[in-house]
Amino acid sequence: MGAQEKSSNSSNPMQRVKVYRLNDDGKWDDQGTGHVTVDYIERSEDLGLLVADEEDHETLLLHRISADDIYRKQEDTIISWRDPEYSTELALSFQETTGCSYIWDHICSVQRNMHFSSLNNETFHSVNSDLKELPPVELSTLPLILKTVVEGGIADQLRVTELILNDQVFFRKLMDLFRISEDLENIENLHIIFKIVRGIMMLNSTQIFEKIFGDELIIDIIGCLEYDPDAPHVHHRNFLKEHVVFKEAISIKDSIVLSKIHQTYRVGYLKDAILPRVLDDAIVANLNSIIHSNNAVVVSLLKDDSTFIQDLLGKLKLPSTSAESKKNLVHFLHEFCTLSKSLQVGQQHRLFRDLINEGIFDIIADVLESQDKKLVLTGTDILILFLNQDPNLLRSYVIRQEGLALFGLLVKGMLTDFEDDMHCQFLEILRSLLDSYASGSQKENIVEIFYEKHLSQLIDVITSSCPTDGITQAVSNSESFDGGTGKQSSVKPEILLNICDLLCFCIVHHPYRIKCNFLLNNVIDKVLFLTRRREKYLVVAAVRFMRTLISRNDENLMNYIAEHNLLKPVVDVFVANGDRYNLLNSAVLELFEHIRKDNLKILLKYLVDSFWDELVKFEKLTSIHSLKIKYEQSLDSAGTRSIGNLLDDPRKRVDDRGLEKEEEEYFNEESDEEDSASAFVTNASRVQSQPALPNGSAPSVSPVRSGGLVDYDDDEDEDYKPPPRKQSDNSDVDGSVESFPLKRKLLQKEEPEPKRLQRIAKGSKSRDSVFAALCSTLSQAVLPSKKMDSTVQDGPCSDGDEKSVESNHEEKGNPTDNGSADLDNHDHREPNGPKSYSESMHTSPDNRQRGEDYPLIPPKSSPEMAVNGS
C-alpha cells in the first residue's frame, strides 16, 4: 500500500506494537516499536502482517498469515506464533487491548477465508467436474455408493442430495437390493445398505424425508435400519405390524388424513426408537417439524368436514354407546383437541367454538360422573385445553343453568381421591374460573355461585377430617361433606392441602367476599382445625392461610381475630414444636414478623397480652424479642399521645368530664324540689365569694358547662343594694316555695318525653313525701334576698359555711351547677313571658343584679300551689 496509508496508520495508537524475537538463549529480543497492519504482501495475493517503524517507517516485520493453527493470544495484549519460513518464535506486544483484539480478529478472518477458498477451489470444482451422476445401484457398486454419500465435504453433500432427488428410481432400486440381500442373508451387504440409508438421512433434506417416509418406502427403510453393525438386531417391522394397532374410534373416510396419521406415528417411532443415538439436533428439529406439519394437516382436514364433529359428539351423547366405545371416543376427542394446538390461533378458536356449539361441555360433565377415574382425568385435560385457549368459553357456560352441574362436579372432583395425586387439575380449573384479574363479565356471577353453593362444601370436608377435640358443639353438630354429623372422615391430606390453597387464592382475589362469608360462617375457625392434624405440612398450610388473611390489613378482620382468639391454635402449635428448626417454626415466625413490621397494633396487643407467658421462653429468637419491643414502643407512644391530647385542650377535657358527670347525676337525682333548693343556696354563696373589680362590676365567671336547660349572663353590679326586708319569715318561705312551680313548668316544656319518663321512673315519690322533704329543706335554707343582705353587710361567707353547703350538696346527689344553670336558663327565657315582680326591679339602671336574688313568684302564693304546680 502507499505511504499515505502508512502515515495514517502510524498515528493510530491502537495498532502500536513492540516486535520481539526469541533468541538462542531463550530470551526475547526487542526488535523495535512500530505500527502493525494487515495488508497484501507486495507482488503476491496473500495477506500478511506488516510492522513499520514509528520513526523512519522501515519494515520491522513482514509475515505471511498461515492457514495453520499457529497463532496464540496471551494476556489480551500479546500475539505470538512460530514462523514456519524462518523457524523462529515471534511476538507482538500491543499498547492497547483493543488493538490486540482488532488484529487478532483480522488474522482469524483471513484464516476462515483461506479455508473457504480452498473448499471452493478444490472440493466444489472437483464435484462439478467429477460427480455428474450417482453410481449405478447394484450389489457390486454398493461400496462406491456408500463412499459417494458418506465421504466428501459440504458441497459434495449438496450435490449428492440433488442427484438423489433427480433420480426417481434410486430408492426403489436400493430397496430391491435390500430385499435380495435379506433373502440371501448377506449380512455384509445389509450393513452397507444400513450405512447408505443412515448417510442419506444425515443429509437432512426435507424433500428426501418426504420420499422415504411415504407409504411405499417407509417399511423397507425401517427394515434397512434394523441391521446396525454396532447394535443387536431388533425387529422393528414386526413390532409395527403386529403390536401397533390403529384404532378408529370413528370412521375417517379421507385417505390423506389416514396417510398423514400413519406417517406421523412412524416418523416419531424412527426418531425415538430406531435412531436416537445417531440423529443430531438439526435432524431431530427437522423431523419434529414434519410431525407438526402432519398434525396441522390432519386437524385442518377434519375440522373442515362438516359431518365429522357432529358424528363424533353425536356418538358420545347416545346412551346406547358402549362403555368401551365411549372411552375410545373420549380419548380420540382429547387427542383431537391436543393436536389443534398446531393450528393458528384464529383457526383453533373457531374450532373450539364449533365444539361448544355441538355440546362438548355437556359431554365433559357426563364424563366427570364416570366411575373410571382415568377417563375423568382425561375430561379435565380437555377442559384445561379450553381454558388455555380462552377461559371465557368455559365461564360463559358454567354460569348458565345447564352449566351449574359441571361447576359442582369440578368442586366434587377436587374432593375425590383419584390415587394418582391429580387433584391439582381440578384446583387449576377452579382457579382459572375464580380469577378476579381475568377479563369478562361472567366472573362476578361465577364467584357468587361458588360462595353461595360450594364454599360450605369445602369447609365441611376440613371439619369432618380433623380431630374433634375442642370443637364447639355448633361445629361438631354441623353436617360434614359425607352427610355425617361431627364424624371424622378419612380424607387424603393432599385434598385438604388443595382446599387450603384454594381458600388462600380466594382471600387474595375476593377480599370483599371473604369479609362476609368467612366471618358469618366461622370459616377461619374451621380452617384452623388443620392445626390438629398429624401432618406437619397441613399445619403449615393453616398458618399460611392465617398469614394470607392478615396480609389484607383489614381492621375488621383483625378485630375479629382478636375477639375470637383465633391465633391461639397457631401459638399452640408453635409452642408444641419447641426449639425444632423446621418449616412450621419458620412459618409462624414469619407471621409474627409480618405483624411487627406492618405495625398491626390490634394483633400486636392481642398477641403479647394473651400469649406472652407461652412465648417468653422463645424470647431468645430475634422475631419474638423484636415483637415484645414493638409492643412496648406502641404502649409508650399511646401514653404520650393521650397526655399530649390532654395538654393541648384541657378545657375540652374538663367539659367532656363535666358533661358525662352532669348527665349521670341528672338521671340519678331523686326530686326536682331538693335540687332547686340547693341551687338557691349555692348560687348565693357563689355570688358572695366573687371579689369586686376596680371598675365596679363583678368578675365575669366562666363556669364549666353543666348541661342546664339554658344559659344566663353572669354580669353583676357590686353597687346594687337590695331593698329592706318587709315580709315575714312565713312570706319568705312562701315565696321560696312558690318559686319552684315555674322551674317545674320549664322542665315539663323543654324536656323530651322519654327523659321525663325516665326521671319519673328513677325518682318517683308520693306527693306527701315530696312535700315533707321540701318543707324540711326550706326550713333550713336562706332565701336569696336574705342571703344577699348578709353578703353585703358581712362580706364573704366563712369556710365553714362553704364546707357545710358542699357537704349538703353531696348528700343530695346534685352538683350546685345544676341549680344555677336552671336559674340561668330561666333568666334568658323571662322576656318571652309575662313580666313579674323581679322584672320590674331589673328595669332600674342601678339595679342590674342577677334575677336569682329576687323572688320569682308573687308574694301571696301558698305552698300548696307551688307543690301542685298551679
Helix (H) or strand (E) holding 349: helix 345-357
The pLDDT tens digits for 495-553 are 999 999 999 999 999 888 887 888 888 889 999 999 999 999 999 999 999 999 999 88
Cα–Cα dist 144/166, whole Å: 19
Cross-strand pairs, 20: 30, 91
Cα–Cα dist 510/446, whole Å: 12
Could you count the other beta carbons within 10 Å of the beta carbon of residue 209?
19
**75 pLDDT band (50/70/90 cuts)?**
confident
Cα–Cα dist 575/584, whole Å: 11
Q: Given this model, what pLDDT does residue 389 score?
A: 86
Q: Given this model, what pLDDT does residue 60 score?
A: 87
State the chain's mean pLDDT as an integer.
74
- Provide the residue type at 153 as one letter: G
- Provide the residue type at 108 as one letter: C
Cα–Cα dist 382/341, whole Å: 12
**345 pLDDT band (50/70/90 cuts)?**
confident
Q: Does residue 710 register a pLDDT over 50?
A: no
- Strand order of the sheet with strand 47-53? 59-64, 47-53, 28-40, 16-22, 88-94, 78-83, 72-74
- Phi then psi for residue 671, to 5 deg, are -155, 150
CB 489 within 8 Å of CB 531: no
The pLDDT tens digits for 271-304 are 999 988 888 888 999 999 999 989 989 998 988 8
Average pLDDT over residues 661-675: 51
Q: Given this model, what pLDDT does residue 629 score?
A: 92
Cα–Cα dist 583/586, whole Å: 5
Q: Which residue has the higher pLDDT, 757 or 543?
A: 543
Give the rounded percent of residues in the chain with a pLDDT score beyond 90.
26
Cα–Cα dist 860/351, whole Å: 108
Matching residue, cell 336552671 = 822
The pLDDT tens digits for 34-72 are 999 888 887 777 888 889 888 888 888 888 888 888 888
CB 119 within 8 Å of CB 157: no
Contacts of 729 (CB under 8 A, 6+ apart): none
Q: Quick check: helix, strand or coil at residue 48?
A: strand
The pLDDT tens digits for 415-474 are 888 766 566 888 999 999 888 777 666 778 888 899 888 999 999 999 988 876 643 333
- Phi then psi for residue 484, to 5 deg, are -80, 170
Lowest mean pLDDT among 11-20, 111-120, 505-514, 678-687: 678-687
Q: Does residue 772 register a pLDDT over 60?
A: no
Give me the helices (H) in 437-492, please: 443-449, 455-465, 473-476
Give me the helices (H) in 530-621, please: 536-550, 555-563, 568-577, 583-597, 601-615
Cross-strand pairs, 697: 717
**665 pLDDT band (50/70/90 cuts)?**
low
Average pLDDT over residues 740-756: 41
**85 pLDDT band (50/70/90 cuts)?**
confident
Average pLDDT over residues 751-767: 42
Long-range contacts of 62-65 (CB under 8 A, 24+ apart): 63/90, 65/38, 65/107, 65/110, 65/111, 65/114
**Which of 113-122, 507-516, 663-672 is predicted most confidently?**
507-516
Q: Quick check: helix, strand or coil at residue 564?
A: coil
Lowest mean pLDDT among 420-434, 583-597, 668-682, 785-799: 785-799
Cα–Cα dist 239/269, whole Å: 11
Contacts of 255 (CB under 8 A, 6+ apart): none
Q: Given this model, what pLDDT does residue 47 score?
A: 85
Q: Given this model, what pLDDT does residue 661 score?
A: 57
Q: Given this model, what pLDDT does residue 721 score?
A: 46
Pairing of strands 59-64, 78-83: unpaired
Q: Does residue 813 register a pLDDT over 70?
A: no
**226 pLDDT band (50/70/90 cuts)?**
very high
722 is written with which cell numbers?
A: 337590695
The pLDDT tens digits for 153-202 are 777 888 888 899 988 899 999 999 999 999 999 999 999 999 999 999 99
Phi-psi region of 255 (alpha: psi -120 to 50; beta: other; left: phi over 0): alpha
- Provide the residue type at 650 as one letter: P
Burial of 368 (0-12, 13-18, 19+ CB in 10 A): buried
Sign of the torsion formed by the C-alpha atoms of 702, 703, 707 and 708: negative
